[in-house]
Amino acid sequence: MQTDSFFLISKYDGARLAVSTICHDSPRFCLQITHGMAEHRKRYIPFMEYIASLGGACIVSDMRGHGETSDPADYGYFGADGVEATLSDLHQIGDVLRLRYPTLPMILLGHSMGSLVARAYAAEHDESLSALILSGEASNNPAVGAGLLLTRLIALFRGERHISPLVANLATGAYDNPFRAEAAEGEKYLWLSANRDNRAAYNADPACGFPFTLNGYDTLFSFMKRAYAPKHYNVRNKDMPILFLSGEDDPVMGSKKAFADAVRILKDMGYRDVRAGLYPGMRHEILMETGRDKVQQDIRLFVEDVLTKSAQTT
């Protein structure tokens, strides 16, 4: 197994992007990960080691405003053109594996905010992907347009780097409510996981749980609008397998109906192979939850099916 960490210079604007790879010595497929809001790439190392053990070549990067791609003083700030810059970065980082292993299938996995990024990317570049996995999918929120307008209005007066408790509360403030009875004193982010060790590690990590700036929320809300807008989809790879995975107790999902709607929308776009799985007792971070072995097994079976279909197509 080969591991590496390095920095790339973004072709979009020269930003420095932190990247990690873990690759099987003789890989059969490639998998790229785009992480969620207010976390970082290193949290996915154990999952990447599992994927590499299956024959995968894995790559993950810190998004702008996150991890080692950003100075901690700029956490939660994506900069100008946050959406376009992030999509350009994602493509450039994926090309690291595409150029190294040009004949291998490429799978993109997005978690949480990363699932919106992955959907927006696939809408424009599905021909560069063999499959798409969406974990902790953020369901479409009909109020996202109003949230975007509010965020931009406040930014006119306070600036893009302002941290607004109002916008933060509207975006994620209610997520902990169903789980408050089990909270230790001062504990936050109960909605992330039923796994107490995972929550404790997240709460103790200075590169996790930081507040988003207004620029960050503008980028997040813009990605949600883009991910669910039919006008942005240029469907070329209609047979690309897509797998939705979510915990049944994940408030980011919205509801089971909202989850089903998110699945249906991609079917309506013209994708023929869209699958979904819900995990009882799990919350948002299903890749780090108690019982994640079941999630990993389902991803393994999906990957094997993708490899079979890819071989048949070839």
So what's the pLDDT on residue 250? 96
pLDDT digits (tens, 9 = 90+) for 171-212: 998 899 989 888 777 788 999 999 999 999 999 999 999 999
DSSP 171: H
13 C-beta neighbours (distance < 10 Å), count: 14
pLDDT digits (tens, 9 = 90+) for 27-66: 999 999 999 999 999 999 999 999 999 999 999 999 999 9
So what's the pLDDT on residue 8? 97
Name the E strands within 162-300. Answer: 242-247, 274-279
So what's the pLDDT on residue 139? 85
Note whether 201 and 178 are within 8 A (CB): no
Tokens of 16: 């420095």
pLDDT digits (tens, 9 = 90+) for 219-259: 999 999 999 988 888 899 999 999 999 999 999 998 899 99
So what's the pLDDT on residue 231? 85
pLDDT digits (tens, 9 = 90+) for 99-139: 999 999 999 999 999 999 999 999 999 999 999 999 998 88
User: Distance between CA atoms of 67 and 114, rounded to whole angstroms?
Assistant: 14
Q: Which residue has the tokens 């154990």?
A: 46
Q: Is the pLDDT of residue 79 over 80?
A: yes
Q: Where are the domains of the chain?
A: 2-141+227-313
Note whether 141 and 113 are within 8 A (CB): no
So what's the pLDDT on residue 183? 76
**Residue 287: enclosing H or E segment and its boundaries?**
none
Reported for 87-91, long-range contacts at CB under 8 A and 24+ positions apart, including other chains, are: 87/117, 87/120, 87/121, 87/124, 88/10, 88/11, 88/12, 89/10, 89/12, 89/15, 89/17, 89/61, 89/63, 89/64, 90/32, 90/34, 90/61, 90/117, 90/118, 90/121, 91/121, 91/125, 91/128
Residue 95 Cα distances to 27, 31, 202, 273, angstroms: 16, 11, 30, 25
Q: Which residues make beta-bridge pairs with 6? A: 19
What dotted CATH number matches 2-141+227-313? 3.40.50.1820
So what's the pLDDT on residue 173? 85
pLDDT digits (tens, 9 = 90+) for 267-306: 999 999 999 999 999 999 999 998 999 999 999 999 999 9
**Residue 121: enclosing H or E segment and its boundaries?**
helix 113-125
Note whether 223 and 253 are within 8 A (CB): no
> With bands split at pLDDT 50, 70 and 90, how would you rate the model's confidence at 148?
very high
Note whether 38 and 76 are within 8 A (CB): yes
Tokens of 284: 């948002």
So what's the pLDDT on residue 314? 61
Note whether 1 and 58 are within 8 A (CB): no
Reported for 233-236, long-range contacts at CB under 8 A and 24+ positions apart, including other chains, are: 233/123, 233/269, 233/270, 234/123, 234/124, 234/126, 235/126, 235/269, 235/270, 235/271, 236/126, 236/127
Provide the mean pLDDT of the chain.
Answer: 94
So what's the pLDDT on residue 105? 96
